[in-house]
Structure 1
């Protein structure tokens, strides 16, 4: 079983000095996996590095798979083949 996670980051249109980050998913597992992708002690540096290498500016969107194992969302590894479904702007 799996869910879909979405990470979006951009300049805040109400305060251009700030950045807004949206963590979303189709269901709760997708939202949880999105947050865990950048907070899990094993995957956060690897996934943050993937973002740094793939996106030059402050604005990007990443759509990815979140595996659900025994009812629990597994932390996604964005460097694993087949995990990222869509990236904008394209890396």
Structure 2
């Protein structure tokens, strides 16, 4: 096995939203989470920014426009650095 640096580029294949966030993230409200296929092949599931998720109708409409290109970034959430993706 070898380490390979990932580009952070990928495609958002589908997404949904949280109903109730974990207690640690309660100040965030609803958050979109999605399945990303990275350019290098692996699948990644994490938070997606800039995707409508305040209602089931918004999520359904957003998913009808997929796949779209996304880019990874590091974001501080609840005192932790996490990988999130946003539209390119």
TM-score by length of 2: 0.36
Higher helix share: 1
